[in-house]
């Protein structure tokens, strides 16, 4: 499984590339990059939920990966975004589009790291399609590479000042 930082920084990096090269700063404000980065950690909300559940039930049940790591949530956020889009509430539509993107990138990362449980929840389908590349042991290095690439991109294009 990817580190928490990877889930956030990769989404920020990718959304920032879209912001710079596809949409532009005016149509894609910086707060959307932040919202997307936070959404990149969204599926792991089941970790603190596990702690709360275990505290109140004295159970050892682990909820991580049981339902929040499902493509269902990506589709749900896309539907919500489309509803806002159809009502010309573009601010909220964009927010839910980036939440959906961040959530989806989290799922892809978990799959690439070889750790997947319930990609198709609530359907009872065993998902064994994720590659087993053995990159889990290099999670810290991958974090560093993503961060350095993003910083280099920002500096080369003189856009790092956007964040200060």
Residue range 73-82, pLDDT digits in tens: 999 999 999 9
Q: Which of 110, 93, 107, 104 lies closest to 32, judged by CA?
A: 93
Query: How much is the pLDDT for 108?
Result: 87
Query: How much is the pLDDT for 122?
Result: 64
- 156's CB contacts (< 8 A; 6+ apart) are none
**Confidence band of 127 (pLDDT split at 50, 70, 90):** low
Size (the chain), residues: 164
Query: How much is the pLDDT for 22?
Result: 92
Question: Token pair for residue 76?
Answer: 């749900």
Least confident of 22-26, 67-71, 89-93, 131-135: 131-135
**C-alpha distances in angstroms, 125 versus 21, 70, 130, 132?**
38, 11, 14, 19
pLDDT at 20 over 80: yes
Where are the chain's structural domains? 4-163
Residue range 85-109, pLDDT digits in tens: 999 999 999 999 999 999 999 988 8
pLDDT at 137 over 70: yes
| Omega within 30 of 0 (cis) for the link into 158 | no
Residue range 34-49, pLDDT digits in tens: 999 999 999 988 888 8
Contact predicate 101/75, CB 8 Å: no
116 Rama sector, left if φ>0, alpha if ψ -120 to 50, beta otherwise: beta
Q: Which of 67, 106, 70, 99 lies closest to 84, judged by CA?
A: 99
Exposure of 4 in the CB half-sphere (CA atoms within 13 A):
6
């Amino acid at each position: 499984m990817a580190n928490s930082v990877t889930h956030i920084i990769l989404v920020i990096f990718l959304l920032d590339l879209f912001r710079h090269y596809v949409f532009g700063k005016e149509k894609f404000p910086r707060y959307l990059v932040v919202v997307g980065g936070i959404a990149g950690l969204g599926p792991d909300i089941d970790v603190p939920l596990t702690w709360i559940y275990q505290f109140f039930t004295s159970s050892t049940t682990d909820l991580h990966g049981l339902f929040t790591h499902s493509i269902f949530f990506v589709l749900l956020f896309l539907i919500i975004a489309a509803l806002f889009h159809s009502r010309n509430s573009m601010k909220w539509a964009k927010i839910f589009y980036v939440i959906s993107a961040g959530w989806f990138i989290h799922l892809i990362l978990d799959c690439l790291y070889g750790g997947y449980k319930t990609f198709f929840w609530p359907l009872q389908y065993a998902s064994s399609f994720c590659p087993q590349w053995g990159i889990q042991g290099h999670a810290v290095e991958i974090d560093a590479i993503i961060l350095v690439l993003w910083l280099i991109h920002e500096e080369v294009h003189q856009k790092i000042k956007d964040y200060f």
